[in-house]
Amino acid sequence: MAEAFPQEIQTLLERKKFADAKKACEERGISTIEVQKSITDEINRANFELKNKNAESAMNYFINLIGAIEPSMVLCKFFSPHLTQYLTTFLVELHTRGYANEQHTRLLFNMFQKEDDTLFDKFLKLLEQAKSQKRAESQTGSNFFLFGKGDKTTKSNYQDLSAFYENFKQNTGAAMEVLVQNDMGDKAFLLSNIISIPSHRVSLLINSQENYLEASNLILKECTTPPGVENDLLQPAANQQTQNNLPTPRGRQLLLEYGATLISKVIAKKYPQKNIVIDNIISAAYQAWIRNEDSSDVDFIHAFWGYPEYCFKFVEKACVARPTPLLNTCLIDLTIPRSPSPDEKYLDKIFNLEWEGKPNSSYCLNKLRDSTIKFYFDEILFICNEVSFVEGVIACLERAGNYSAASSYYIAACEHSLEDKAKFDNTLSQYVKWLRNSPSLKNDDWVDVFQFFIKYYNKASNESFMSNPNDDPHDDHKTLFIQKIVLKNAKKARPLTSLIHYMSKFPNIPLRIVKKSLMKELTKSEKVLENEVNDHETSVREVGQIEKQIERLEGEDIEFRPMKCEVCHNKLDIPYIAFMCGHIVDRKCCIIGVGNVPICPICGDPHSEITPKYKMPEEAKRTIRLDPQQPDLLNSVLSLVHNGYFDK
């Protein structure tokens, strides 16, 4: 015997809830034949009414069948100009029961264009009611609270619209697109007040409502809202608990897509709250960037493309929190002074990097000289050179420790600005100041510096060499600087004569530049010459004394005591031999070497295998120590004689 049809399902059929009855059968594993039979009967009744041109009654039957049959079966039957009002009604019911797809949504909102505003307003009220139900459910976890305890179906005025809200949220984007395409921006904005798709709402606020402040607030809100939480349903408490979470990618996308647009709009239209809007965009960019370490610095810089003042504010704030080489490079680039030439003015219109309140060059130079700040060195060096920011180039080269290149660049910059007197004097003044404080140049570099100042001596103004504004302008500061600093160091690498030779190529150079150095060299030479003369006189006097002493010795009878052989200790008889080692021996006591050459018997021959024949006690040994510094051997011999060497 077949199982009895459940009473609950039978009740659903009696109440014309065919879709719910069919779903209940499928959940319980019961055959849907009876339900399908009831659905077929309802379709037949609807077709009968439609055939009898009773479209309103037929539509009521078809509305009962929503969810149980394909909507296309109904749409094709009512797709006629005189039946569009019924088609619109069916589409509204299809949405409220949660069975509409994107194509149904597009069709419905295209139909709203042909209907009066009453039906659209009714649809929005239903949608707002559905949103309220959803918010209540999210707070309590149930919708029973709406009517108190008990079964909610007992209240005849209750309509469960939760499926409507969840389903329509998926298709809201399609609805917005149709409304915007049909020039129904006001209606699209009303819809966005209920279900807010940030991208569409921001676009509507900018292009349709021109409410730039609200648009910037929404972007800022999206950049600080944690992922997975709908702004529409967030309560203040929930917002406060999630402030430290990561921002949604949606907020970052909104910022990159509409940030620059908002800035351009408020500036072009002189929007009253311009500063607030721009501050919101800067804060949104900072929040989106700081909360995600994987954020691309380039994307956020592009968000302020064309607006260097606001880009600077963002980058400066970001560099304080988490400096990166790219952000540091951008910050320095934005503060580099620009002074385009007449041929570059068209570039200045496009990339105008000057604004009111821009930090002066000292800000940029401090960043360049701070060794703790990491940036892309080659890029900054290239930019400074391109815009003729000489001090920036020098700061980069000093940071790299290349002082020789820094000095050469200063010289090249001065030569490049020769035609502009004011610019030349300004660059030269900077160079002079740098040389006063830069003792790290090599000696050869100072020679190049000397040659530069000599070459352009007559073109350089005296004021460029003043170390203090209070200095007397009538003093010759130029000459003093070259004398005390440049020439002083250049002489360490080149002789003064070489430097004077270079000066001779420029006949108009005053001699007073090297006069003091020449006088010093002359005084020094005079002293050297005087010392040489004194030494010569002393030498002549000593030679005269020696000659007199020799003459005296030659005129005296010198008695030589008989000497003894140092080997046999007998009185020396001729022939005897006096060796250079100082030993005097009889010939018979000598060692005869190769070639009949006598060899000292005491010392032997260190260059052959002949060894000494006699050994003498250490205390008996005598050696002659000759002073190689003496100009003549005669002095040593005479000294030995006077000291009684040969008397022993």
Q: How far apart are CA 357 and CA 355, in angstroms?
A: 6
Q: What is the pLDDT of residue 382?
A: 95
Q: What is the pLDDT of residue 462?
A: 86
| Phi, psi (rounded to 5 degrees) for 640 | -65, -40
DSSP state of 487: I
Question: Where in the sequence is the domain holding 268, given as residue range(s)?
Answer: 212-229+243-307
Kindly state whether residue 475 falls inside one of the protein's structural domains: yes
Q: How far apart are CA 576 and CA 587, in angstroms?
A: 5
Same domain, 446 and 413: yes
| Torsion (CA) 509, 515, 516, 521 in degrees, nearest 10 | 120
Same domain, 504 and 415: yes
Same domain, 296 and 329: no
Kindly state whether residue 452 falls inside one of the protein's structural domains: yes
Q: What is the pLDDT of residue 145?
A: 36
Q: How far apart are CA 561 and CA 559, in angstroms?
A: 6
Distance spanning both ends of the chain, measured CA to CA = 161
Same domain, 387 and 467: no
Rg of the chain, C-alpha, whole Å = 55
| Count of domains observed in the chain | 5
Q: What is the pLDDT of residue 620?
A: 52
CB 432 within 8 A of CB 461: no
Q: How far apart are CA 186 and CA 190, in angstroms?
A: 6
26-60 residue pLDDT tens: 888 888 888 888 888 888 998 888 888 888 888 88
Q: What is the pLDDT of residue 138?
A: 67
Domain boundary among 475, 510, 545: 510
| Residue 84: how many other CB atoms lie within 10 Å | 14
Kindly state whether residue 567 falls inside one of the protein's structural domains: no
Kindly state whether residue 222 falls inside one of the protein's structural domains: yes
Kindly state whether residue 568 falls inside one of the protein's structural domains: no
Query: Low-confidence residues of the chain, pLDDT below 70?
Result: 1-5, 138-159, 226-248, 294-295, 339-352, 438-439, 469-470, 556-562, 606-607, 609-611, 613-648
CB 647 within 8 A of CB 561: yes
Same domain, 458 and 494: yes
Q: How far apart are CA 88 and CA 94, in angstroms?
A: 10
Q: How far apart are CA 473 and CA 258, in angstroms?
A: 59
Q: What is the pLDDT of residue 149?
A: 35
Same domain, 538 and 500: no
Kindly state whether residue 85 falls inside one of the protein's structural domains: no
Kindly state whether residue 67 falls inside one of the protein's structural domains: no
Alpha helices in 325-482 (DSSP H): 325-335, 345-350, 361-369, 377-386, 390-399, 403-416, 421-436, 443-455, 477-481
Same domain, 260 and 329: no
SS3 450: helix
Q: How far apart are CA 153 and CA 375, in angstroms?
A: 68
Beta strand residue intervals within 326-432, DSSP E: none
Q: What is the pLDDT of residue 4?
A: 59
Report pTM: 0.62
SS3 199: helix
* Antiparallel, parallel or unpaired: β 598-599 and 584-586: unpaired
Q: What is the pLDDT of residue 377?
A: 95
Q: Closest Cα partner for 197 from 168, 226, 224?
A: 168
Kindly state whether residue 91 falls inside one of the protein's structural domains: no
Same domain, 375 and 327: yes
Same domain, 265 and 250: yes
